[in-house]
Amino acid sequence: MTEEFEQAAATAEMPADEMTEAEEQAVGYDVEIDHNMEWEVETEPAEPDVIIDAPRHEAGYGQPGHGRAQRVSRQYNKHLFVWLFNFVFGMYGADRFARGQIALGVLKLLTFGGFGFWYIADLIIAIVRAYSGEHLNDENIYFDSLGRYI
């Protein structure tokens, strides 16, 4: 079978009186098959991660991000993240799922927000991070690949 395939590929011409499988399937349909069609595969590089410069976020000495750029893995509108993911669905771990912290989201879901304490703590942290300091004039809130606030 492989010899026949190699031989057919080498000649690349087909007698006019023989039909290919594709032509047999196309009988009764308005389909034209171009035997000289060239296949081109276009691959586009993945969009690069958004990079935020550390000085913009004023990372202090010894803190992650001090003096180097940080890669943003996820970004959300800060109002949507705080009020929908944290306030409304935070008791069920939606904020952790949105940040990419699936295991913590499941744990928060099973414990109903850490019996309310974890829910309140995450809500306060989200409000402070979104509406003060570095994100005050920014409409988005950013997370790195581990789900930490940037």
pLDDT tens, residue by residue, 87-119: 999 999 999 999 999 999 999 999 999 999 999
Q: Return all residues near 141 (Cβ < 8 A) that are at least 6 apart.
A: 75, 76, 77, 78, 81, 82, 129, 130, 135, 149
Q: Which token pair is 57? A: 């976020």
4 vs 125, higher pLDDT: 125
- DSSP H stretches of helix in 30-116: 78-79, 94-99, 102-110, 112-115
Smallest CA-to-CA distance from 73 within 5, 140, 1 is with: 140
Residue 23 CB-density burial (10 A; 0-12 exposed, 13-18 middle, 19+ buried): middle
Q: Where are the beta strands (DSSP E) in 6-105?
A: 50-52, 70-72, 74-77
The vertex-80 CA angle with 77 and 86, nearest 5°, equals: 125
| Lowest-pLDDT choice from 32-41, 52-61, 90-99 | 52-61
pLDDT tens, residue by residue, 5-28: 566 555 555 554 555 665 555 555
pLDDT at 86: 96
Tell me how far apart the alpha carbons of residues 48 and 66 are, in angstroms, rounded to a whole number. 21
pLDDT at 125: 95
Residue 134 banded pLDDT, cuts 50, 70, 90: confident
